[in-house]
Structure 1
Amino acid sequence: MHATTKQTYGERAAQHPNACAKRMLELMETKKSNLSLALDVTTKKELLEIADKVGPYICLLKTHIDIVDDFDQDLIEQLLALSKKHNFMIFEDRKFADIGNTVKHQYGNGIYRIASWSDITNAHGVPGEGIITGLKEVGLPLGRGLLLLAEMSSKGALTYGEYSSKTIEMARRNQDFVMGFITQRRINELPNEDFIAMSPGVGLDVTGDGLGQQYRTPHQVIVESECDMIIVGRGIYGKGRDVEAEARRYQEAGWVAYEERIRQ
């Protein structure tokens, strides 16, 4: 077990070298939440309504802003207002995967201007280290953080072995901007290393969705795999679900698992 798994989020925040990670850990400690909601809906109205309902229970809202049919700048302004109202951070799950010069413009410009409002974004390691360099030019001066995709939760994913190893090496060379990983397990292996591990594919009621998604429980993710954050989607806002009640249920389950881990 790596030393950081026994420390509280607050203890880790106090000594974290990455500004965005530090803010994230402080927020998790303050709100007693390690829950991120993956909000993949296609209308502005639904996105804002659900974000408002889950806001008190989450530390991070994960968006796919390019699937919103009626996207406009007002959506961003309202989303930022909700993040302040409920004290959560925003993670645009863009999964950048191009050369450095291209991603720099995709991140800072275009109709979405992601860097202007999203605290965190992410990228694949496939293009090599230039992708981090390009994103860093835009994001670091704004205090943003980057997650790298080390492992994915979908069946048959190719993100393993040498790909994962090379991705981790790139992260180690860019710890001022790379704050952690989207991963299925804790990746910290070196002394004084503290990458935040966020794990998708978390569910309390099902084990798969028929489209290749595989689900694990908060206990499996936080205690057994020693990850820091659970990312939950349809388990909270799926058809017929009480969004607020489900968000509270996952927030409590994630926090109970975290408390068990730091007691071990």
Structure 2
Amino acid sequence: MNTYKTYSERGQQHPNACARSLFELMERKQSNLSVAVDVTTKKELLSIADAVGPFVCVLKTHIDIVEDFDHDLVAQLEQLAKKHDFLIFEDRKFADIEGIIKGLGEVGLPLGRGLLLLAEMSSKGALTKGSYTSESVEMARRNKDFVFGFIAQHKMNEHDDEDFVVMSPGVGLDVKGDGLGQQYRTPHEVIVESGGDIIIVGRGIYGNPDQVEAQAKRYRQAGWDAYLERVRLHKK
């Protein structure tokens, strides 16, 4: 199964250009960490992005909540992505008909972009399960040229010829919940036990402004160690 191959092996054979770039970057930086920077000011976003940049493969942004957004923010984020060698994942959710996906693909594919479908969530009581998740997988199969993966809690590759990238939120090394319905799992649980590919961490990294870089380094190491263990277990 493709999930258990190395990131490098998967990148060499993946049909989606964005996924190929992502796998190559992950192997190059030895990182499967994505930091979700959900803050409301330009200054905070750029400061955190610069601090975690050396340790992440993907920076997940939520541009529509930045109160003082301007186009200079986009330019500076692009500069930081080049400086630290990471991809930018804009968390812009589209809840619409399948034709919207095709339309996004027509624009995004020539630019080397890709789309992730929200198949599962990590919060307690989430409705993203069962038939919803199954239909998300089928929709991805119908749009493989553009849809290269999922936001989900476990691997979605059911067929040998499939290689969907799974990015998993709700990752924590110190706590199991936050009192707001969020449920946390360790990088080992996500990568080794559930077959996820990328861990998404937010407040666990930048919650303490004085520990951002140290926590990013800590989570990067934990995620990469889990990946190496998964590869080792399935190479036997």
Task: Output the TM-score relative to the length of structure 1.
Answer: 0.87
Give the C-alpha shift of residue 240 in structure 1. 5.0
Match of 1:204 in 2: 173
**Conserved 8 A contact 1:36-1:232:** yes
Q: Which amino acid aligns with 2:23?
A: L
Q: Which amino acid aligns with 1:76?
A: V
Indicate yes or no: 2:192 matched with 1:192.
no
**Conserved 8 A contact 1:5-1:261:** no
- Cα deviation digits, residues 93-143 of structure 1 (max 9, x gap): 111113xxxxxxxxxxxxxxxxxxxxxxxxxxxx3x223112112211211
- The 3-state SS of whatever aligns with 1:230 is strand
Match of 2:118 in 1: 149
- The 3-state SS of whatever aligns with 1:242 is helix
For the aligned residue pairs, the C-alpha RMSD in angstroms reads 0.9
Distance 2:4 2:190 in 1: 15
Q: Which amino acid aligns with 2:100?
A: I
Matches within 5 A, 1:1-264: 3-98=1-96, 127=97, 129-264=98-233
Q: What is the identity percentage for the equivalent residue pairs of Structure 1 and Structure 2?
A: 72
Alpha carbons of structure 1 residues 84 and 240: separation in structure 2 relative to 1, 3 Å = closer
**Conserved 8 A contact 1:180-1:197:** yes
Q: Which amino acid aligns with 1:79?
A: L
Alpha carbons of structure 1 residues 195 and 140: separation in structure 2 relative to 1, 3 Å = same
Distance 1:8 1:155 in 2: 32
Q: Which amino acid aligns with 1:223?
A: V
Unaligned segments of structure 2, at least 5 residues: none
Give the C-alpha shift of residue 5 in structure 1. 2.8
- The 3-state SS of whatever aligns with 1:94 is coil
Structure 1 moving runs of 4+ over 2 Å: none
Point out which structure has higher relative CO (alpha carbons under 8 A, 6+ apart): 2
Q: Which amino acid aligns with 1:22?
A: R
